[in-house]
């Protein structure tokens, strides 16, 4: 049965939150605030919080800055995952992924469907690993952020969660970057 193993010690992560919006500021960013409040309530550290315009270059630059920071374990973006012309978060972030997390998109769709029915199909939420950092791209509504955190991330970002979680494999996320090329017949 999945759940928290109380014999394991909680390991707080450093999480950056990035809101993608042409209209929000930190004062009225409800989605970013929802994520910041939930992750700190769970015992994690809000490592950074920022807002960028719906622009591929701006989004990618900010996410690259976060993943280059060795103090940041996880990046969560909110906004820009829909179908309108300004929704470009997946286009900005997915090229950074070394490994895509297909299961996140599927599970998020399932969690969302339970809350909002067939409207859940309008999301392009995505996730992956980039240079040893987990990156999750969520829709821009506070409800979607709440659903993703409460239904998925609070568990997978908790070292105590069993049977497995993202935290316990973090030390191995960059193995492929350290692995020397195999010497083959052409070497």
pLDDT of residue 55: 97
Distance CA 10, CA 157 (A): 10
10-172 has which CATH code?
3.40.980.10
Residue-wise pLDDT for 5-34, tens only, equals 999 999 999 999 999 999 999 899 999 999
Q: Are 20 and 52 in contact (CB under 8 A)?
A: yes
pLDDT of residue 178: 67
Q: Where are the domains of the chain?
A: 10-172
Mean pLDDT of 89-98: 98
pLDDT of residue 184: 47
Mean predicted lDDT score pLDDT of the chain? 93
Distance CA 148, CA 139 (A): 9
Residue 162 pLDDT exceeds 50: yes
129 — pLDDT class (breaks 50, 70, 90): very high
What DSSP string describes the chain? --EE-TTSPP---EEEEEEE-SS--TTT-HHHHHHHHHHHHTT-EEEEEEEE-S-HHHHHHHHHHHHH-TT--EEEEES--SSSTT--HHHHHGGG-SEE-HHHHHHHHHHHHHHHGGGGGG---EEEEETTEEEEEE-SSHHHHHHHIIIIIHHHT-TTEES--SGGGGGGTTHHHHPPPP--TT-
Residue-wise pLDDT for 30-67, tens only, equals 999 999 999 999 999 999 999 999 999 999 999 999 99
């Amino acid at each position: 049965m999945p759940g928290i193993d109380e014999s394991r010690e909680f390991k707080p992560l450093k999480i950056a939150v990035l809101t993608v919006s042409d209209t929000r500021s930190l004062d009225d960013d409800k989605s970013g605030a929802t994520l910041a409040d939930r992750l700190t309530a769970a015992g994690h550290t809000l490592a950074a919080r920022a807002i960028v315009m719906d622009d591929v270059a701006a989004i990618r630059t900010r996410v690259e800055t976060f993943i280059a920071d060795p103090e940041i374990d996880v990046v969560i973006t909110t906004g820009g995952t829909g179908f309108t012309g300004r929704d470009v978060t997946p286009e900005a972030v997915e090229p950074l992924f070394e490994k895509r997390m297909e299961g996140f998109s599927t599970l998020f769709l399932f969690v969302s469907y339970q809350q909002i029915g067939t409207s859940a199909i309008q999301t392009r939420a995505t996730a992956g690993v980039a240079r040893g950092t987990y990156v999750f791209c969520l829709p821009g509504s506070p409800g979607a952020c709440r659903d993703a955190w409460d239904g998925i991330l609070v568990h997978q970002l908790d070292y105590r969660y069993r049977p497995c979680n993202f935290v316990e494999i973090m030390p191995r996320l960059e193995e492929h970057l350290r692995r020397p090329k195999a010497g083959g017949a052409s070497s």
